[in-house]
A and B are shown apart, each in its own frame.
Chain A
Amino acid sequence: MTAAWAIALLILSPLAAAALVFAFPRCGRWLALGTVAVVGGASVQLTWKVLTDGVQIHRVGGWGPPLGIDLRADGLSVLMLLITALIGLAVSLYAQRYFAAHESERPLPVNPDVAASRLSAAILDKDSVRRSAETPLRFKSPTRELVRGDRNPALHRERYFWPLFLFLWTALNALFLSADIFNLYVTLELLGFAAVTLVALAGKRAALTAALRYLFVSLTASLFYLLGVGLVYGQCATVDLASLAAKAQPGPALWVALALMTGGLIAKAALFPLHFWLPPAHANAPAPVSALLSALVVKGSFYILLRLWIEAFPALMTPPVAQLFGLLGAAAILWGSVNALVQSRLKLLIAYSTVAQLGYLFLLFPLAATPEGGFTAWSGGLIFLGAHACAKTAMFLTAGNILHAAGHDRIQDLDGMTHVLPVSVFAFGLAGMSLIGLPPSSGFAGKWLLLNAALAQGQWWWVAVMLLGSLLAAAYVARVLAHAFTRVEEPRKPHPIAPVMEWTALALALLAVGLGFASHGLAELLRVGAPVAGAMLLGGAAP
């Protein structure tokens, strides 16, 4: 298999599978597993090609820039593709049983009286809405019929989960392979659509509201990004990432363009203070969806920011800009961690933890911009990204298990959970270990490299923030575990849970710890086509 085939399969196979699931809804789970095999194989093949032959470029249709679309795979893209394939595998296995397990749930809360009011009637006359909200059903929308006609909401959800999941995967793979900023816009929108619809899949009032808010934020952010792309094209007459660096002339127009793009991407990546939409959206989605959103979707926007600032416009990455990114990241770490600490619901705690952990990723900007220790910070930040993806998926899957077994996710009432779900609680603990950054986990490896870079460059203030963030993470993970490990006289009778749902979470948690041992190999991979240079600083760099 050549690299071109691997690149094509990475995008086309999940897309084809998604379309096939619509035609054959009963085969959804098998088509997903087939896609896992194909995409997994193609990712490994492409990784091997990149490691041996360097950066791979595929010109779609043989056109080439500026008219054609290029797909490009370097170390960073391949790492993101591998992480996506791993999380995709775990979620495919978990979701095999997740939706069937929730079959007994209440049907969707659709109130026919309320459903009567028609949205479009309201645009000109608010009174008409008020009237129609009180009159009986007058008009039937196809979606509503579908909801009511489906006797089993769990199976209904599973039916739509698989194609949306596969679309999400297509968008992610295409995003990580895109080589121009306009193609990145298109993939970013595809990603947003799939993610929003997956959140809405839970069907509950809270999930629908969270999904719509997420959609508004996502669309607004995309338009800001798109306007920025237009201004960049107006200035540089190209959208190709590789040729932008040479053509970029720092000036007011380019600054405005980058500010617009960055603002949009920061909102999509849920960086403090634009993180407000994330906790409700991630906490209200079904467990496998929460896992996908936290582990992968927010990182798509972060990935574009990296490409933009470090690869395409290094000339504009001045120290004040770099420090500003770091400052927002530090604020996210503290704000997210403190909020995680005070949540009463497990899923909200995990969602706020995502806000905090995303902050660490943004410390990469001030640390990677300096040549000395730049590559150390680059690989540290990206290993941290992989660690967080695995750990956070494990945590959300565990939360799904707890929610299913206990019927709730109130942290205070998790007493005795170790008796009920020993494997899941163990998985949560292991994932927490990686989030805190205890050795030898991959979370530790990533933080260690970031710390080394910060010390080598004398930017000690980031060291203080990272250590404080770790302490806070230890506190919120311990808070959950303390409740779970409390002895109870009579363990409650849990709902039975499929073993695969527990073991998938554990496997990912083990991976989150075990990847720490592979960090040298990951750094080697990241070296291919890396936009930052410098030696790897491994300890002993403290002043």
Chain B
Amino acid sequence: MPDADHRIYLLAGVALFAIGFYSLLVQTHLLRRVMALNVMGSGVFLVYIALGAQTPGPIPDPVPQAMVLTGIVVSVCATGLALALADRVQAATGRVELGDHEDAADLPDASPAPSEHHKGTPSA
């Protein structure tokens, strides 16, 4: 098991993950949600680094660090994709949050052009 020094990083990582997940659930603004996902990701990476430090010697285990590098690359791509899509969603609907149930009934042939109704203000 990790000693006390490393345990604080482990707990901090888990806490970041939980905070990110909580905001993802309660926030509706698309940009805030993308940021929440990034906070979650940072939490996971911190957990990896903390686990990599729990080797007996002074040199940490390089494998989790390599994994975190891969994870960061994936996370940057994910953020880029999410931002691009959020931008397109906002361009098409005029809103910066996801509608609740409108999309299920709105199939290809019947979707009207964005109406006045959807241009409305993005309220919280």
Contacts and interface: CB of A to CB of B under 8 A. Distances in A.
B51 A234 contact: yes
B58 interface: no
Interface in A210-255: 210-213, 215-216, 219-220, 223, 226-227, 229-231, 233-234
Contacts of B102: 206, 209
A141 B89 CA distance: 13
B11 interface: no
Interface string A180-221: 001000100100010011001010111111111101100110
A144 B121 contact: no
B124 A409 contact: no
A208 B81 CA distance: 12
A200 B24 CA distance: 21
> What is the interface residue range for chain B against chain A?
35 or more
A212 B40 CA distance: 18
Interface string B94-109: 1010110011101111
A283 B82 contact: no
A492 interface: no
Given A193-B81, A230-B47, A111 B107 contact: no
Contact of A233 (B31, B64, B110): B64
A230 B91 contact: no
B87 A143 contact: yes
B92 A205 contact: yes
Contacts of B63: 66-67, 233
Contacts of B81: 193, 196-197, 215
A200 B108 contact: no
Contacts of A143: 84, 87-88
A513 B21 CA distance: 44
B113 interface: yes
A353 interface: no
A324 interface: no
A204 B108 contact: yes
Contacts of A111: 91-92, 94, 113-114, 119
B93 A215 contact: no
Interface stretch (A9-17, A126-134, A443-451): A126-134
A283 B111 CA distance: 13
A122 B31 contact: yes
Nearest to B112: A109
A88 interface: no
A348 B104 contact: yes
B31 to A, nearest CB: 5
B122 to A, nearest CB: 5
B62 to A, nearest CB: 9
B11 to A, nearest CB: 13
B8 interface: no
Interface in A137-185: 141, 143-144, 182
20 contacts: A114-B90, A114-B91, A115-B90, A117-B96, A122-B122, A123-B29, A123-B32, A133-B94, A200-B85, A205-B111, A207-B108, A211-B85, A212-B30, A212-B85, A215-B81, A223-B41, A226-B71, A231-B51, A407-B109, A409-B109
Interface of B: 17, 21, 24, 29-33, 37, 40-41, 43-44, 47-48, 51, 54, 63-64, 67, 70-71, 74, 77-78, 81-94, 96, 98-99, 102-104, 106-111, 113-114, 118-119, 121-124
Given A126-B124, A186-B70, A230-B64, 17 more contacts: A67-B63, A114-B114, A119-B86, A119-B87, A122-B29, A130-B122, A182-B67, A189-B74, A202-B108, A208-B89, A215-B82, A216-B33, A223-B17, A227-B43, A284-B108, A347-B108, A408-B110
Interface pairs A-B: 4 shortest CB-CB: A206-B106, A114-B94, A234-B51, A115-B91
